[in-house]
Amino acid sequence: MRLSDLKKGEKAKIINVGGEGALRQHFLDMGLIPGADVELVKFAPMGDPVEFRVYGYELTLRLADAEQIDVEAVKVSEEEDAPKKKRVKKAEHPGLGEEGRYHEKETENPLPEGTQLTFALVGNQNSGKTTLFNQLTGSNQHVGNFPGVTVDRKDGEIRGQKGTLITDLPGIYSMSPYTSEEIVSRDFVLKEKPKAIVNIVDVTSIGRNLYLTMQLLEMGVPMVVALNMMDEMIGNGGYVDINAMEEMLGVPVVPISAAKNEGVDELVHHAMHVAKYQETPKVQDFCDSTDHGGAVHRCIHAVMHLIEDHAENAGIPVRFAAAKLIEGDNLLLEQLSLEQNEKEMLEHIVLQMETERGMDHSAAMAEMRYAYINKVCERCVEKPAESREHIRSRKMDKVLTGKYTAIPVFVLVMAAVFFLTFGLIGPFLQDLLAAGIGKLGELADGMMEAAQVNNAVRCLVIDGIFEGVGSVVSFLPVIVTMFFFLSLLEDSGYIARVAFVMDKLLRKIGLSGRSIVPMLIGFGCTVPAVMSTRTLPSARDRKMTILLTPFMSCTAKLPVYGFFVSAFFPEYSWMIITGLYLLGIVTGIIVSLLFKKTLFKGEAVPFVMELPNYRMPGAKNVLQLLWEKAKDFLQRAFSVILIATIVVWFLKSFDLRFELVEDAHESILAMIAGLFVPLMQPLGMGDWRIITALVSGFMAKESMVSTMEVLFAPDGVAGAIPNATAAAMLVFSLLYTPCVAAVASIRRELSTKWAVCIVLWQCGIAWIAALLVKLICAVL
């Protein structure tokens, strides 16, 4: 029987995991290993993907992927479900291992004074890394990018510990490179060599979380384990024997609650000690010599002997290298530069193990790790029957991912978010800010007048900076409000469900469920939409999604539509505006189908995703995030946009002899716009004023309206251009290049080359579409 054959609520035991390569490894890493129990929780409303429960957490898979996993049905025995005998609970705290239990005190050799103690914060997604990081660093943090990849990198000094630096790494499930983020985290630990690792473990799904811990231990880097979410564990009557766990893992284990700031000081204390004395994990030998005849155990140790010197030369921890080689990691194989003989020997050793164990190498290794984890959990952890949080999540999911309710609820939620952001809170704050900026501008104008500042400079400051940059800055509240709601949705765990619900639909255009989020934000503003693609797991999906978001008509285009429609087609206004939104979406779909067949061949990433329990997001996390986004946005406003605005202002105010022009017709801008006339003539848009409006729309779409108002004064645009041109213009402004701010953020996420390509490519599409519109109008 296959995993995909299960019905809702049925349980089974995994026999064999098929498939190949990285995806299969990912299955294994996520706990889908031979012998594991799985339960089919529910199907997504469209019948695919499916939610399973494995190793005490919820996981989603597509049916096609679930088909690769063989299972056998198990009878649910009453006994198994009954809670096991209760142990005496003594979750004391302290009672922890003394510091320095794992290094030789006689020969202790601390790092010299003044060495910077660097820490890596490593853990699964949703294990509370960001929460802990914010607790550890307070406000002493800086956000940057990991070089080469556009994943946020956050560094900060631990509060009260001078000369420390802790880095928040992307959430990962294992050290096998599956997504680009996992590569970032793995390389950080291997190459940047932090002095110690702080491994954060979500104790409510400890089985899967410890899998990463096992791999980190193999690397032999000094480490402490932070058992997070202890508040939930204890609150539900669970219990962890910390001392026993320390003994079995050979590293300090500190129970904490990051959200409540409990145990964090103790964690810091241990982390400092471990780093200072370079205390490496005492236990690494998880393979059991009695487990299934010890085949895996012997294999690992044989390989370790074989490659010992190579690993040392390459500076890679030997146990880690051996494990990775057995798992068939080619990257590592190259780094070790083994000789042909040794490679053959390696193959033989692995082959022998596979025969003895009756399982292939990857499954055998994963099984070995999970076998040890089971032992740890059996001895040290007493799980509550079912946590309150899980019961609550299940109830909420009945509605939020229910067969008939999921999509209506999703539409309602999004409508509410958009209404609040763009209809209520955003504009209110925006008006307030715009009024403030206006007042400031008047004040500056008055001061400059009093000081008899040169007229040109005064124009620049008022028209260029206050009007131009000011109008962009006034968008700050909208963007921050948008991010506020999105971070609520994301941190609470709802976004993961949306991806689950929408996956099937998005696969049809070559994307996965996760791309829905950026596209939705795109209806608000392309800038945050592009930034939010960072949550996507593959570079292919990220690129493709970034290319699509500009087709989702952003709110800044709404004034443009309004302007044209009321001037030319007042009787059809709603139909036309709705039509434009739809046209944007349809074009996006056509374009992505095109991409799917050409530039981005291949499948969207498999949809293997955790559905975490719903949790109330912490206020601190949310505030921190908003502050970061605001800073990001302002920085951009005062760099790229400021410069662009000054350039346009300059071009529109001066002629070639650099004299201030009375009539913009004689300005450099008009001349430059004139160059485009032959290009735009076929569309009936050869008027330099239209072209200028389009150019100013490139700065910010709304400014098209003000530009046209000025340039077509005093008679207005209505009589000046024919209706067909207006229609072509509408379509053109829907589809042509995203504004400067959006292009800048695309550049930041992808590259300059991509940004330029997108500008040209969208102008091309817009040109063709506008031409079609004009031809159709001519026929009508």
The window from 41-49, 314-322, 610-618, 666-674 that contacts ligand GDP (CB under 6 A) reads: 610-618
The window from 21-29, 56-64, 251-259, 567-575 that contacts ligand GDP (CB under 6 A) reads: 251-259
Sites for ligand GDP among residues 85-124 (CB under 6 A): 123
Contact set with Mg ion (CB under 5 A): 130
Phi, psi of 25 (to 5 degrees): -60, -40
Which residue's Cβ has the minimum distance to Mg ion? 130
Element (H, E) at 666: none
Look at residue 683 and give its three-state secondary structure: helix
Q: Is 279 in the site for ligand GDP (CB under 6 A)?
A: no
Q: Is 524 in the site for ligand GDP (CB under 6 A)?
A: no
Token look-up 């040890």 returns 372
Q: Is 281 in the site for ligand GDP (CB under 6 A)?
A: no
Q: Is 491 in the site for ligand GDP (CB under 6 A)?
A: yes
Q: Which of the choices ligand GDP, Mg ion, none does residue 170 contact, using the CB cut-off of 5 to 8 A by kind?
A: none
What distance in Å separates the CA atoms of residue 733 and residue 717, rounded to the nearest whole number?
16
Contact letters for ligand GDP, residues 613-652 (x by CB under 6 A): --x-xx--x-------------------------------
What distance in Å separates the CA atoms of residue 669 and residue 677, rounded to the nearest whole number?
13
| Residues paired with residue 59 on neighbouring β-strands, in sequence order | 52, 610
The window from 13-21, 256-264, 579-587, 662-670 that contacts ligand GDP (CB under 6 A) reads: 256-264
| Residue (of 469, 357, 401) closest to 49 by Cα position | 401
Element (H, E) at 520: helix 516-522
Closest to ligand GDP by CB, 258 vs 637, is: 258
Q: Is 45 in the site for ligand GDP (CB under 6 A)?
A: no
Asked if 702 and 471 count as a contact pair (C-beta separation under 8 A), the reply is yes
Q: Is 535 in the site for ligand GDP (CB under 6 A)?
A: no
The contacts of residue 67 (CB under 8 Å, 6+ apart) are: 2, 3, 4
Token look-up 């393979």 returns 287
| Degrees, nearest 5: CA angle 253-254-259 | 140
Shortest distance in whole angstroms from residue 129 CB to Mg ion: 5
Asked if 215 and 243 count as a contact pair (C-beta separation under 8 A), the reply is no
The contacts of residue 378 (CB under 8 Å, 6+ apart) are: none
Among 4, 60, 68, 127, binds ligand GDP (CB under 6 A): 127
Token look-up 């004040």 returns 443
Q: How many residues lie near ligand GDP (CB under 6 A)?
A: 21
Q: Which of the choices Mg ion, ligand GDP, none does residue 128 contact, using the CB cut-off of 5 to 8 A by kind?
A: ligand GDP
Whether residue 722 has a cis bond before it, omega within 30° of 0: no
What distance in Å separates the CA atoms of residue 307 and residue 171, rounded to the nearest whole number?
30
Shortest distance in whole angstroms from residue 443 CB to Mg ion: 42
For the record, the structure tokens of 183 come out as: 């590569």
Q: Which of the choices Mg ion, ligand GDP, none does residue 126 contact, using the CB cut-off of 5 to 8 A by kind?
A: ligand GDP
For the record, the structure tokens of 36 come out as: 């594991």
Beta-strand (E) ranges in 589-684?
609-611
Q: Is 685 in the site for ligand GDP (CB under 6 A)?
A: no
Q: Which of the choices Mg ion, ligand GDP, none does residue 258 contact, using the CB cut-off of 5 to 8 A by kind?
A: ligand GDP
Shortest distance in whole angstroms from residue 160 CB to ligand GDP: 21
Token look-up 């098209």 returns 704
Among 53, 67, 93, 125, binds ligand GDP (CB under 6 A): 125
Contact letters for ligand GDP, residues 167-186 (x by CB under 6 A): ----x---------------
Sites for ligand GDP among residues 185-244 (CB under 6 A): 228-229, 231-232
The window from 13-21, 125-133, 365-373, 625-633 that contacts ligand GDP (CB under 6 A) reads: 125-133
| CA distances for 516 relative to 414, 522, 523, angstroms | 12, 10, 12
Shortest distance in whole angstroms from residue 231 CB to ligand GDP: 5
Largest CA distance in the chain: 94
In the complex, the residues that contact ligand GDP under the rule CB under 6 A are 123, 125-131, 171, 228-229, 231-232, 257-259, 491, 615, 617-618, 621
